[in-house]
Structure 1
Amino acid sequence: MAAVEQVEVELKFDVDAGHTAPDLRVLPGVVGAAAPETVNLDATYFDTENLDLAGNRITMRRRTGGHDSGWHLKQPTGIAGARRELQVRFDDAPADGDVPDDLITPVVALTRTRKLIPVAAVSTTRTITTLLGADGRPVAEFAEDLVTAQSLLPGGHFQEWAEWEFELLGTEAHPRLLKAAEKLLRAGGGRTASSASKLARAIGSTPSVSEPHLGKRPTALELVITDIAIHRNSLISYDPLVRVDADDAVHQMRVACRRLRSVFSGFPSVLDATRTAHLSTELQLLARILGDARDSEVQLAIDDSLLRAENASPELIAALAGAETAIHDRAIRAAHAAMNSDRYFALLDAIDEMIASPPPGPDADLDAVVAVDKAIAKSRKSIRKAQSTLSTLTEGSAEWTEQMHTIRKKAKRLRYSTDAAEPLARKRYRKVAKVAKAIQSALGDVNDAQINRHRLAEIAASGTVSAADMFVLGRIDARQEADIERAIATYRRVAKDL
């Protein structure tokens, strides 16, 4: 069952029942209107007992009547007045009346193991007027709604009200149409809507999730919890994209896991370490599972770039890319299995609990700037110690290679610690972050090229490669070797600034 996706851009107003709407044909880009049509809409809204969807400004409903009967999921887009809507028609929905999987997947990181239940029943008598442009195409739709709603929550009550909705249609609408419509409808009796949606008005106030932010003089605990909330939101936002294997989604979700762990390791005394240890372990496991899929994605991209300029045979292409594709597919299936487990949902619950009720550590009341300075100094000292050890090792040896990998991980930890301080807007932190990122990037290139050279050597030693392909492998290996030398030179140059 494939969901149909669209972005709706609309205005909503409260209005007195029976109030006559102004003539919308005076709006820019509008030259006419179709005859009004009245329809009856009956919708049941679904959410968890905790109202996890409503709290995140998401609505899920099953609606009959009108031209778009079916299941609908509406999510915020970050653009005022715009919402992303997924629709599954009844013909494509489960025959047993269950919520379609296509609508559960985008929100399962919020609902988790909690059951979706009916929370409101809303009936609407809607009179629709379609506004037409110069070529006769619909450019907007104006709806005059008489609404009756019954909250199905404990203690819920019955309500009646009237409202106007003005929605743009397609991409043909006049660029000033929405702004002009708002001005006209307000002048004609429309008032600022008391709720963002019919559901919100039907069930009343909900525990809305707000964007994390800091005050002017935050404590270390406030900074850390704000950072945890930011990365928690990032993890949640990439969850549905990983489930459909969207481009770069695995990488970004893995980064969110690592950034969360870096908060615990970078500021170990700000939160109670006994409470964060389990979370850190669980995040490490999740990052490792996602890492298998991410590593294969990186390798596929490298293989593509290396083979692009070479006259490689189909057999060599299959040896390099074909096997990696199979590895990637297995890794994605493993990631999906982990993300559907009770263990994963318990991890998300634990992160939410920590944000809501953070367990303070001995440095919780430190000034945030003092805590960041302390974390950065500790991380820089650790990197310099690792660099000192590197200087005693034979370049190119296994020990030297492993130490370079250690420095890369420490530079990444330093970068994440400085990123946590971004809300403090200190230039000195951004400078350190820039150097840490450059070190991480250069040594990451070294690591990727070394892994690839090992793979090339294995293929060459297999005895199944033709003479022509052996030549291609040699050319690729030489390019990788040169890439390693350039990356090491870059590392040595930027490491001086740490």
Structure 2
Amino acid sequence: MSARESLEVELKFDVDAGQPAPDLSGLAPGGAGAPTVYELNATYLDTAGHDLAARRITLRRRTGGTDAGWHLKRPTTHSDARHELAIDFTDAPADGGVPAPIRDAILAIVRDQPLIPVAEIITERTVTLVHGADGSVLAEFAEDRVLAHAHQSQRTQEWAEWEFELVDGDAELLPAARKLLRAAGARKAASVSKLARAIGSEPHTHKPTRLRKKPTALDLMVHSLATHRDSLVAWDPLVRENAFDAVHQMRVTARKLRSILTSFPQILDPASIAGLSDELRELGEVLGEARDREVQLEINRELLAQESDVPADLRTALIDDEIASQERALRTLRYALSTPRYLSLLNTLDRVITDPVPGPDADRAAAKVAVAGIEHARKRLRKAEKWLTALEPWSAEWVEQVHRIRKRAKAVRYTADAAKPLDLKTATKTAKQAARIQTHLGHFQDTVVNREQLTRVSAEPGLSARAIFVLGRLDAREETRGRAAVQAYLDEN
């Protein structure tokens, strides 16, 4: 199924009905074309509780205009931009159902809830194209007369609005367009989208929890879990499309959730979260496989980039085969994110956040519990570091202990990060110290894993003599890099 992804960058304004549009010809060297009128008929879908609209996400099935089909729009970090996923009707299911790529992108939010029509919106749109000197379309200006009917409230509304959307133009065009349209009577849009205005979703917009001035340990726990749950859900669609750094960030989020539960075991009733930590660990492992393949491929490319004459069989073993492994890991990950088990994990997190069962430490001051949790994690780290001094440097046991220190430093960091909303100096300082240890020993662990792979590749039958020679050189470089990383850790400790 063919899907088009794009970044929609536009200005949106409210105007009085019948407000004449300004002359756009001065905005760009190629002037403005003749207006074209379209009638657009859109059905917007959401859950009964408007879970998509609450996150400023819109899903519609629209006919008319030049882009009829299914459209999913999600917010970005820029106020004037939205991520759009579009699928033509010719590529959509014949039964009229929501296309799979779109359903996958919102599965972590919708889960097993049905998507139902929540609004019908008819738009009479007058489009004027703004051209560059070469005739290219830089932007599209739309004058919209809107008639909207919300199913739940049975309310019908009419209004007018203007939209100025970039096509092939760059953002430098926006300030001039904003100034011109404002001068012509345009006002700041009252809603982020036509659907939001139709159903009145703004009062119910999904927002992260906030801590009160003197939070209890339970307050901190719920706040932390909610923050990372929202992050997990936000990274989900990006992981499915293998966006840059998405797998890594979702893996970190899953680990932080698990760390919060294990670092503060008495805040929530143990029976109420039984199995949750294990499920988060399993999620982290399937994310980890895809992430490890991603890292391995990146390291292999960097190593071979430093070689002037790489034999074809070695490039196949270190690059082509690794790409195939990464693709398999991503397929497995996408499958895992579509299983009832994963959706059940999200539902459990929701339940724990909205209806937490207090444990013995629930009513204690958050700061006291956080400091105790951080100190406990630091003691475990110091104990692991002490054991390292009793082992033979660079022996197998010593290398394994270094790996254990890295994992315990990570636990310290995540525990301290959970206390950051409390603005505790000790938490900030401890998190930075642990992050440095994690970084140095993480680089070392990468070399350990990579050298093991180089050894496996060198044992493959039929490998050319030149490939084996280059592998030896790569291994030597990785050994040097690993020792430098460990030395950097030891110098700081």
Q: TM-score normalized by structure 1?
A: 0.88
- Contact residue 29 and residue 177 of structure 1 kept, 8 A: no
Distance 1:178 1:406, change over 3 A: same
Aligned counterpart, 1:108: 107
Structure 1 counterpart of 2:289, which letter?
Answer: D
SS at match of 2:327: helix
- Contact residue 11 and residue 174 of structure 2 kept, 8 A: no
Cα distance between partner residues in 1 of 2:62 and 2:461: 63
Structure 2 counterpart of 1:2, which letter?
Answer: S
Cα distance between partner residues in 2 of 1:455 and 1:9: 44
Q: For residue 243 of structure 1, report the CA deviation from its aligned partner.
A: 1.5
Distance 1:27 1:221, change over 3 A: farther
Q: For residue 45 of structure 1, report the CA deviation from its aligned partner.
A: 0.8
Deviations 1:34-57 (A, max 9, x none): 444433221111112232211111
Distance 1:27 1:258, change over 3 A: same
Give 1:277's match in structure 2, choosing from 247, 264, 274. 274
Residues 1:236 and 2:196 aligned together? no
- Contact residue 214 and residue 365 of structure 2 kept, 8 A: yes
Q: Which runs of 5+ in 2 are unaligned?
A: none
Q: TM-score normalized by structure 2?
A: 0.89
Give 1:478's match in structure 2, choosing from 476, 484, 488. 476
Structure 2 counterpart of 1:222, which letter?
Answer: D
1:64-463 to 2 correspondences below 5 Å: 64-130=63-129, 140-153=139-152, 156-170=153-167, 171=169, 174-181=173-180, 183-185=182-184, 188=185, 190=186, 192-205=188-201, 207-310=204-307, 311-462=309-460
Question: Percent identity of the aligned residues?
Answer: 46
Cα distance between partner residues in 2 of 1:139 and 1:234: 35
Deviations 1:110-154 (A, max 9, x none): 11222222221122233444556777765554444333222233x
Structure 1 counterpart of 2:455, which letter?
Answer: A
Range that drifts further, 22-31 or 416-425: 22-31
Q: For residue 3 of structure 1, report the CA deviation from its aligned partner.
A: 2.6
- Contact residue 30 and residue 139 of structure 1 kept, 8 A: no
Q: For residue 331 of structure 1, report the CA deviation from its aligned partner.
A: 1.9
Aligned counterpart, 2:7: 7
Distance 1:364 1:395, change over 3 A: same
Distance 1:14 1:399, change over 3 A: same
Q: For residue 28 of structure 1, report the CA deviation from its aligned partner.
A: 5.8
Q: For residue 25 of structure 1, report the CA deviation from its aligned partner.
A: 4.6
Cα distance between partner residues in 2 of 1:325 and 1:134: 43
- Contact residue 413 and residue 434 of structure 2 kept, 8 A: yes
Q: For residue 471 of structure 1, report the CA deviation from its aligned partner.
A: 2.8
- Aligned CA RMSD, in angstroms, stands at 2.8
Structure 1 counterpart of 2:154, which letter?
Answer: H
Cα distance between partner residues in 2 of 1:129 and 1:466: 63
1:46-61 to 2 correspondences below 5 Å: 46-61=45-60
Deviations 1:342-388 (A, max 9, x none): 11111112212222233333323333332322121111111111222
Structure 1 counterpart of 2:336, which letter?
Answer: A
Distance 1:423 1:182, change over 3 A: farther
SS at match of 1:395: coil
Cα distance between partner residues in 2 of 1:324 and 1:127: 51
Q: Which runs of 5+ in 1 are unaligned?
A: none
Q: For residue 409 of structure 1, report the CA deviation from its aligned partner.
A: 0.8
Structure 2 counterpart of 1:317, which letter?
Answer: R
Deviations 1:460-491 (A, max 9, x none): 44564444333323222222222232222122
